[in-house]
A and B are shown apart, each in its own frame.
Chain A
């Protein structure tokens, strides 16, 4: 079956511009997570959504980062006024539910380069 998809696969932007990254989770998965993978910081949690509950935003590094999930499915991660330190691979994952033993399945990621 279809896995988690993300778009674009690569994004190059100039410092100060806004970017939007998209994630389409596995059908039927109620939980959706965003992580960031960078050389210096490894894999960092950013935010997760569980059904219609308020998202857990505890991992967002600054108020320039925001995310929404429309209709309990597709999610968009927005980074405003991008900085060079935002350059990283942004990974999206989904699971049947949040927490517990449910496996998170990852998409291929979006590689963001801020010039």
Chain B
């Protein structure tokens, strides 16, 4: 079985400060990892993904995420937060092996609020 934990329901950060949204995962074998963002009354919007290779993945809107295999983590980061980054963020995982589930398993989401 595969699972994702987002330990923080809410993260508040001041505009211009760096932000981190935490994610840890559990999956058999190697993972594919994804971050999505959801704005109010909208669907999920893809930000970035880790497949293999470089542990630091760069994505849309200045976001990046660092894959750490030993800590089974994939934290989302941004060097300088904007008020417009305020949204609900989801981490998701899918296993790498041929027997893994094809669907994504999502974390519970983290509400990011960037304060002006």
User: Measuring CB to CB, which residues of chain A are less than 8 angstroms from any residue of chain B?
Assistant: 4, 6, 31, 33, 35, 42-43, 45, 48, 50, 56, 59, 91, 93, 98-101, 103-109
Contact = CB atoms under 8 A, between A and B. Distances in A.
B51 A101 contact: yes
Contacts of B108: 42
B104 interface: yes
Interface stretch (B40-48, B65-73, B75-83): B40-48
Contacts of B51: 101
Contacts of B45: 106
A103 B94 contact: no
A43 B44 CA distance: 11
B32 A106 contact: no
Given A42-B109, A101-B49, A109 B43 contact: yes
Interface of B: 32, 34, 36, 42-46, 49, 51, 90, 94, 100-109
Contact of B104 (A4, A6, A104, A109): A104
Contacts of A99: 94, 100-102
Nearest to A103: B46
Nearest to A34: B103
11 contacts: A31-B102, A33-B104, A42-B106, A43-B106, A56-B102, A91-B44, A101-B51, A103-B34, A106-B43, A106-B46, A109-B42
A106 B36 contact: yes
Contacts of A103: 34, 46, 49
Contacts of A48: 102-103
Contacts of A56: 102-103
Given A99-B102, A105-B46, 16 more contacts: A4-B43, A33-B103, A33-B104, A42-B108, A42-B109, A43-B90, A43-B109, A45-B103, A48-B103, A50-B102, A101-B49, A101-B51, A103-B34, A103-B49, A106-B46, A107-B43
